[in-house]
A and B are shown apart, each in its own frame.
Chain A
Amino acid sequence: MIVMIAKRASVGRAAAVAALAAALWAVPAAAQEAPDAMVKRVSQDVLQIVKTDAKVRAGDQARLREVVETKLAPNFDFARMTALAMGRNWRTATPEQQKVLSEQFKTLLVRTYSSALTQYKDETIEYKPLRMDAGATDATVRTAVIRSGNPPVPIDYSMAKGADGNWKAYDVIVGGVSLVTNYRDEFNEQVKSGGIDGLIKVLTQKNGGAPGA
């Protein structure tokens, strides 16, 4: 079918159809995507939008959040991140509490990521070669943000391969600062003073009262 259309179409249209075919082809291939390739594809995708999207460039926070939500967030395992950040407190939470915690933590991280992206200027990302054994289900993808006149900022993604074969990130380490480790202290402190429900309350308030919400 595609071949027939391409034969009749102009060169430009043929190229468009070929691109469509390539896009269709890429969907099943994506399931087998290596973790470093995935990080590269997703980050380039997001940066491209940040650079070119008129609304984002005009400072539209809601639009930026939508980009992060739809492009970035699906590649993170928020339940695992929440469990890691909760440490031993995770087991004492009910399944319902765990669900709410994961949702609230996700919202907080999406907002934080969006707000960090607003500071994007002309940085480029360097992707380090991946060192991983064949068949491994855990990997660290190393990147560095390069800004002219400043030392590069290393950003590492801890990633795990899910049962469906897709890789998802469960921690981001910026210049040696692990997000999950940082929140472990935060969560622990809140649970100590107000219990699991106290932490949920603080998280929900933080998300509700965030600037630009």
Chain B
Amino acid sequence: MTRQSDDKSALRSMFALLVAVAAMALLGGCATVAKPDPLEPFNRAMYEINEPIDKHLVAPAIKAYRDYTWPPIRIAISNFFNNIDDLFSGINGLLQGKLDKAGNDFGRVVVNTIGLFGLIDIASDAGIERGNEDFGQTFGYWGIPQGPYLFIPLFGPTTVRDGSGWIVRLYVGPAGYIPDVPVRNIIYGLGAVDMRSQAQDAVTFVDQAALDRYNFIRRAYLQRRQYLVYDGKPPPEKEDEE
């Protein structure tokens, strides 16, 4: 029980940090719409911290994970975490009044969980699409501005809005409810490895495509999130922005 609350208090302080960052950005210019990255010097510093860690530790670990695990195991691990994501996608579909999507997601969770604890994605084979909703998108749907862009070492690109969504997500579980600390940490660790592994193709793409990786990742992330918030139909961008 105390472990559980330790966990939550850590998340609470992270949330406080995000709020502080948002307040700082608002005080420091209020320019969140015109300029999505008012904290660029800070973010670039964080990015520079992350670069060598990612290059020398994370990327080799992910490569080993991809090279040495049997692909069906890796897919089962992805499916397991996707199943949890689908549950939250369903909740966020409801929070946005998207009942069709929510219905699909909850249907998926029921089918896949009964199937084999989410390890096999039977629902996709049956053609039930994933809703792919999350708390960040719900906040956006509710009209909460995205706030300043953030780059967080080991976590990557986010915004105050999306980061807050993540904290809500981690706060409500379900891994946080596992009483056994090592088991819980293994679950968290595997989840992070799976996420980073799924992003590997995108990382390779950015390496080849970008002139300035920081800049490229930021723009791609913000475009992607805008697209998701508007369910694939974002309002057109201005041709020339200053």
By a beta-carbon cutoff of 8 Å, the part of chain A in contact with chain B is 87-88, 108, 111-112, 115-116, 119, 148-149, 151, 154, 175-178, 181-182, 185-187, 189-190, 202-203, 206, 210-211
Contacts and interface: CB of A to CB of B under 8 A. Distances in A.
Contacts of B215: 185-186, 189
B209 A176 contact: no
Contacts of B2: none
Nearest to A119: B201
Interface string B174-200: 000000000000000000000000000
B79 interface: yes
Given A176-B226, A176-B232, A112 B219 contact: no
A182 B216 contact: yes
B212 interface: yes
A189 B212 contact: yes
A202 B215 CA distance: 14
- 6 interchain residue pairs of minimum CB distance: A176-B227, A112-B209, A115-B208, A185-B219, A177-B223, A182-B219
B44 to A, nearest CB: 12
Contacts of A151: 129-130, 132
Interface residues of B, number: 31
A202 B210 CA distance: 11
A213 B22 CA distance: 44
Contacts, number: 66
A186 B78 contact: no
* Most chain B beta carbons < 10 A, residue from A186, A187, A189: A186
Nearest to B198: A150
Nearest to A212: B208
Interface of B: 75, 78-79, 121, 124, 129-130, 132, 201, 204-205, 208-212, 215-216, 218-220, 223-224, 226-228, 232, 234, 237, 239-240
A151 B130 CA distance: 7
Given A88-B240, A119-B201, A149-B121, A182 B220 contact: yes
Contacts of A87: 239-240
B162 to A, nearest CB: 15
Given A175-B224, A190-B211, A154 B79 contact: no
Contacts of A190: 211-212
A154 B129 CA distance: 14
Given A151-B130, A181-B219, A115 B204 contact: yes
Contacts of B239: 87
A149 B201 CA distance: 16
